[in-house]
Amino acid sequence: MASEIGRSGGERRGRMDRRQAAKPVANDQRAAEDRRTVLDRRLVADVAEEPGDPHPQLDAIVAHRCALSAQVGRDVGQEVASLDYLLNVRPGDQHPTVIDRAALADIEFRAMTDALTGLFNRGFLDAVLKRELARSRRHGVMTSLVLVDLDHFKDANDRWGHAAGDATLRGAADVIRRQLRAADAPCRYGGDEFAVVLPDTYRSGALLVGERIVTEVRRAFERGVGGVGLALTVSVGVSWYCAMSDTPEALLEAADRALYEAKAAGGDRVAESRCRTNAAPRSDSAAT
């Protein structure tokens, strides 16, 4: 059955499992915020401030955390990233001080999210793809990718203006987010294109997510958006980890080819990558 996916073989997601937050928050951030009753403190570096950027060193530590996490294949956390940056990247020229952890968490959240849609940004997409594919190689689990592109968005944007275009992008992002689990990573890939990384999800599950996104976007915008008659549909391309798509670049390229096929066929539909050989030990036929 199409719903029997992932290594457990059970239903991948249900209504209660879908993301309910107003905007995406990384799992470790959400857990930390739930636990926090008083302000925690974090040791970071105090350097000369630059105009318009009150915490330049914090931005550098956030970027170092993303890079270090991608390198080791898991999230290393704020403490490890901060200490590694101070001791190994910029040793000898730091003057540590104490700041609120909340300030660092806010900077980190803004550094990995898209300001318009509230989804994760392209930098986060690159990091999470590298991490999940490393996990697929190491542990034999499956990773899938869904690319979503708005149909005829440029023509509609030119006709109705950028305000309606921005409302359309925000609305589409909200619909996409509601179809996902907390473990999934919805990102703005660029322009009117979105990408969703689906950990522990086989081909059948990724196709199910793609079909759900197409249906729900069409339903949500059948009466228009932004106060104008701008009905919205999307095209979706799906790819998954396999022998021919075992790097972030290859996985994105495979999903992009599938997306092109969906748009060439008229849009408002899902197309899949032609890669059929899964690198994980479980065959795709066992997952469907």
Return the active site residues: 192
CA proximity to 141, closest of 271, 240, 66: 240
* Cα–Cα distances in angstroms (integers) from residue 23 to residues 14, 15, 162, 204, in the given order: 19, 18, 22, 27
The dihedrals phi and psi of 188, each to the nearest 5 degrees, come to: -90, 115
Alpha helices by DSSP H, listed for 112-239, are 122-139, 153-160, 162-178, 203-220
Place of tokens 């490393």: 134
Strands 234-240 and 270-272: parallel
* Residue 3, C-beta contacts closer than 8 angstroms, at least 6 positions apart: 11, 12, 204, 205, 208
C-beta of residue 256 within 8 angstroms of C-beta of residue 272: no
The dihedrals phi and psi of 95, each to the nearest 5 degrees, come to: -130, 85
